[in-house]
Amino acid sequence: MSLMETTIKANRVLSTVEKLREDFPILKTTVHGKPLVYLDNAATSQRPSQVLAAYCFFCQSHNANVHRGIHTLGEQATDRYEAARRKVAAFIGAPSEKTVVFTRGTTESINLVAYGYARKFLKPGDAVVLTPMEHHANLVPWQIVATTMGANLRFWPMTPEGTLDMSAASDLLQPPVKIVALTHVSNVLGTINPVKEIARRAHAIGAKMLVDGAQAVPHIPVNVADIGCDFYAFSAHKMCGPTGVGALWGREELLDEMDPFMTGGEMIREVWLDHATWNELPYKFEPGTPPIAEAVSMGAAVDYLNHVGMDWLQEHDRQLVNYAMNQLLAEDGVKIFGPQDGRGALISFNVEGVHPHDLATLLDRDGIAVRAGHHCAQPLMRWLGVPATARASFYLYNLPEEIDQLMEGIRRAKEVFAYAR
Ligand code: 7TS
């Protein structure tokens, strides 16, 4: 591509961002008297007016419980809840909407597989393969289920730059491995894992594969059929949607064989005093009153991301991350964690002589929101040899100027701490 074409493309991306920012009322907020610079999108993203309006409209016009009432509002609520499921299913390339279960989010989706599938099918001596870069949500449920079932956990070795060492695959993926569970995109390293290749290799030994897509679905076009995995988990609140809702996609035959994780109303077909039978998919896994307005707004978030365009979003993320990466690499005393290329829309880093918590506190005074801490990945922090990192994470409304402000904030923090020493 010529320089001119590149510039035109970059300008188009920028003017689009300026327009998109108008959709996010919170971006006009000030923090400590400074305009908000929101760089904590990997923790949760902001919501556009369209998604907020969808929530309000549902509550004002169609609020009722779902799958129960013969009355008009009940039918309208059910129609909208099921329409949201169809949107979510189409967004991730799910072959059937029956295979999309609404949950409270990624954490619950993974627990559903660990308790509903693994606790039923794992046998003593079986193994579950995980990676050291997992969020606790994709580690602790497996620890508990493996202990209960007498199974073992195996961990995929990583290269020094924080990618999976693919040369270890043949040794690692051997019977008695029954489940491989890994993140699509690391919430600390930004690493994008080769999930398609790993699914193929897992299936070659008869293992099932779960992908934690919490950091992927908001940022990259995801197609579960193309990946070829067995389960895929994600949350609405990192993709312009509300908290309290997310989804699990699973292969129909596996969801059929699985036990329910939680039981009660709605997930049953028939109940006697001493036993019960289960409802059809996906209701077997949706006990009680679901997060109805939240699911409807998750559907609105999908509409919004489709309107923005996932290909555009991916390119925008790539430009922002490259811009931030180049600046951070050029800054004295900054150490970056994770691969330099081919990464997701976030960068974890530390500044020499400044604790990440102090850095985040100083940045907050300038209105800049970043996360500092272990990012719910304590084993990964040990692997990195640090107690914590700072992390800047980007989304569709972030601008290069905001990265410039981050860099200025980092420089000010360096000065404060040089002076303090
Ligand atoms: N998996 C990954 C890869 C994540 O990044 C997160 C949340 C979860 C699972 C859990 O998602 P939840 O919606 O069920 O909470 N990650 C983060 C983060 O990096 N900072 O705050 C939350």
Helix (H, G, I), strand (E, B) or coil at 349: strand
Residue 70 scores a pLDDT above 90: no
pLDDT at 4: 54
What are the structural domain ranges in the chain?
3-47+309-420, 51-307
**DSSP secondary structure code for residue 335 in this structure:** E
Cα 109–chain centre separation: 12
**Listed residue (260, 294, 268, 291) closest to 117, CA to CA:** 260
pLDDT at 2: 57
pLDDT at 14: 61
Segment 213-217 shows an average pLDDT of: 98
pLDDT tens for 294-314 read 999 999 999 999 999 999 999
Q: Which atom of ligand 1 is nearest to the CA of 183?
A: 3
Q: Are 155 and 161 in contact (CB under 8 A)?
A: no
Residue 207 scores a pLDDT above 80: yes
pLDDT tens for 241-286 read 999 999 999 999 999 999 999 999 999 999 999 999 999 999 999 9
Residue 335 scores a pLDDT above 60: yes
pLDDT at 6: 58
Atom 16 of ligand 1, residue of closest alpha carbon: 43
Catalytic residues: 376
**Is CATH 3.40.640.10 the right assignment for the domain spanning 51-307?**
yes
Give distance in angstroms: CA of 214 to centre of ligand 1: 6
Structure tokens at 69: 């009432």
Give distance in angstroms: CA of 375 to centre of ligand 1: 8
Residue 382 scores a pLDDT above 80: yes
Torsion, CA 233, CA 239, CA 244, CA 248, rounded to 10: -20
* Domain 3-47+309-420: assigned CATH number: 3.90.1150.10
User: Measuring from each residue's beta carbon to the nearest atom of ligand 1, which residues come in under 6 Å?
Assistant: 42-43, 105-107, 135, 137-138, 183, 187, 212, 214-215, 235, 371, 375-376
Residue 379 scores a pLDDT above 60: yes
**Is the backbone of residue 413 left (phi > 0), alpha (psi -120 to 50) or beta?**
alpha
C-alpha to C-alpha distance for 75 and 81, rounded to whole angstroms: 10
Report which secondary-structure segment, H or E, holds 224: helix 224-227
Mean pLDDT of the chain: 96
Mutational test site, ligand 1, from 215, 245, 378, max ligand atoms within 8 Å of CB: 215
pTM reported for the whole predicted model:
0.96
pLDDT at 8: 52
pLDDT at 278: 96
Give distance in angstroms: CA of 140 to centre of ligand 1: 13
**Listed residue (236, 262, 220, 217) closest to 85, CA to CA:** 236
Atom 17 of ligand 1, residue of closest alpha carbon: 43
Atom 21 of ligand 1, residue of closest alpha carbon: 43
